[in-house]
């Protein structure tokens, strides 16, 4: 009775397959550079009093000009704010602090890969009410 010999093994074949799958998966992952610039931009700025003093802790609201997807941030100690990785489009922005609000800045154009810097000015504080 004759027995068949086992075919020669190819030990490197499995290694090459794993390497191929690994490289293929890396190819499918988005690169960080393309993710930062594809259709996204930055909208930042400062909130000040009417005399130019920065306002710490002001609430800044940004929404699409169609009124969708409102987002809010607070200003830092220098009155600065930033909305990062925003889709390109038209936006409206306003700041509020202690019952006072800046005017809406409307239809701000944000393009892919760009940065728009704003200055939002709060109205003067009303004079204190006279004592009765």
Q: Does residue 98 lie in a domain region? A: yes
Is residue 46 assigned to a domain? yes
* 6 falls within a domain: no
Residue 132 located in a structural domain: no
Q: Tens of pLDDT along 103-114?
A: 999 999 999 999
Structural domain for 57, as ranges: 39-121
Q: In total, how many domains does the chain have?
A: 1
CATH of the domain at 94: 2.60.40.10
3 state DSSP class of 39 = coil
Q: What is the mean pLDDT of residues 17-21?
A: 70
Question: For residue range 33-91, what is the model confidence (pLDDT) as tens digits?
Answer: 444 446 799 999 999 999 999 999 999 999 998 888 899 999 999 999 999 999 999 99
Residue 48 lies in a domain: yes
CA distance readout (Å), 110 to 19, 32, 79, 89, 106:
42, 21, 22, 5, 12
Residue 119: pLDDT over 70: yes
Give the predicted TM-score (pTM) of the model: 0.66
Are the CB atoms for 44 and 80 separated by under 8 Å?
yes
Tell me if 15 is assigned to some domain.
no
């Amino acid at each position: 009775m004759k027995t068949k010999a086992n075919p020669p093994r190819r030990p490197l074949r499995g290694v090459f397959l794993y390497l191929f799958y690994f490289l293929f998966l890396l190819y499918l992952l988005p690169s960080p550079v393309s993710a930062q610039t594809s259709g996204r931009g930055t909208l930042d700025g400062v909130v000040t009093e009417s005399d130019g003093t920065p306002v710490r802790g002001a609430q800044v609201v940004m929404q699409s000009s169609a009124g969708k997807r409102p987002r809010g941030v607070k200003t830092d100690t220098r009155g600065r704010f930033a909305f990062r990785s925003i889709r390109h489009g038209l936006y409206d922005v306003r700041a509020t602090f202690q019952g006072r609000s800046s005017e809406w800045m409307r239809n701000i154009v944000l393009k892919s890969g760009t940065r728009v810097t704003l200055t939002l000015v709060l109205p003067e504080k009303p004079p204190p009410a006279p004592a009765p």
